[in-house]
Structure 1
Amino acid sequence: MIRPLFLASLLVLTACGTVQRDRNAPITSVAQLDVNRYLGLWYEIARYPNWFEEGCVGVTAEYALRPDGQISVRNTCREGALDGSVDIANGIARVEGPGKLSVTFTPWLPFARGDYWVLYLTPEYDLAVVGNPSGRTGWILARTPTISTEARERAEAALQANGYDLANLENVAQVSE
């Protein structure tokens, strides 16, 4: 069963929350995003606190191409513990520009879309940093449940380069491969 708060909160990714970045600092998405290479399963390694993921661990996001050219989004959260109950939120993303997507979890509400900007992406498409201009959300995502210290440092440097303060970045417990 989908936890109502988890789903409701995803209506608009940036609707409320603490600003985690200096909004006077420039924010830049990646210049190129090959959507087909970005598709697939991503593990949430770290995030800025947000109420819609409160208590969530083992968080993953899976992206797949839809027949209409948009992208299906399936976010999975385990409540409280890695063996906790599973919450799933399904959404739809569309490309808005280079490295910029908008996501909705309520497609029947056209105004309920949130910015999803890929701020950093390795050439191998195995590590990504995602945020948005409001600075209320930010994530480090990887293709594996754990990353090296060097990869973590690169991701954190990308957050800082986009005005994010690392003080509130929190690790997300993940399952083993």
Structure 2
Amino acid sequence: MKPIPVVSHVDIQKFMGDWYVIACIPTFIETDAYNAIESYRLNDDGSIATTFTFRKGAPDGPLKKYTPTGHIIDKTSNAVWGMQFIWPIDAEYLIAHLEKDYRYTIIARNARDYVWIMARAPRIPGQDYERLSNIVKILGYDVTLLRKIPQQW
């Protein structure tokens, strides 16, 4: 398949902060995640301190926390990152969609194995979810694999 197109420019300061995971094609650690949040903070060296938290198995399940470090690879667009969970491997992280108001984003990978639909709020309207999942489909993903992440606060 063709490489996934990324957005032309990300204002990295505006992108920082909390993103609620609305749906994803999950990695093995996310298969039973609840209340998943990905948080970004720009470090002085330009790397991105990332904190991924969720409850395992239920809204009140054990809290899980991962702290990978993001590295901006394409400094022109700021839309291509490497996400390092373990050194020296940077997992591909592509900002394939970003709303103008930075309300929704889609993070993708060229392998089309994982994808994340994220929002600044824990819930989004149904028509917005349908529109975003259609974008995921256009990117070449099997949307039947999407798992809505329960956000029960």
TM more than 0.5: yes
SS of the residue corresponding to residue 4 of structure 2 reads coil
Percent identity between matched residues is 27
The correspondence of residues 26-41 of structure 1 with structure 2, limited to 5 A, is: 26-41=3-18
User: Within 1, Cα distance between the matches of 2:15 and 2:26?
Assistant: 24
Name the residue aligned to 1:153. 130
Name the residue aligned to 1:122. 99
Name the residue aligned to 1:7. none
User: Within 2, Cα distance between the matches of 1:93 and 1:25?
Assistant: 24
In structure 2, runs of 5+ residues without a counterpart are none
More strand by share: 2
Choose the corresponding residue for 2:85, options 78, 93, 105: 105
User: Within 1, Cα distance between the matches of 2:16 and 2:57?
Assistant: 27
Q: Shift of residue 77 of structure 1?
A: 1.5
Name the residue aligned to 2:38. 61
Q: How many residues align?
A: 150
User: Within 1, Cα distance between the matches of 2:28 and 2:94?
Assistant: 20
SS of the residue corresponding to residue 113 of structure 1 reads strand
When the two chains are superposed, the root-mean-square deviation of aligned CA atoms in Å is: 1.2
Name the residue aligned to 2:66. 89
Q: Deviations over 1:109-166 (max 9, x none)?
A: 22x1101101111001010011111111101000000001222122112212211121
Contact residue 127 and residue 151 of structure 1 kept, 8 A:
no
TM-score if structure 2 supplies the norm length?
0.93
In structure 1, runs of 5+ residues without a counterpart are 1-23
TM-score if structure 1 supplies the norm length?
0.81
Q: Shift of residue 25 of structure 1?
A: 4.3
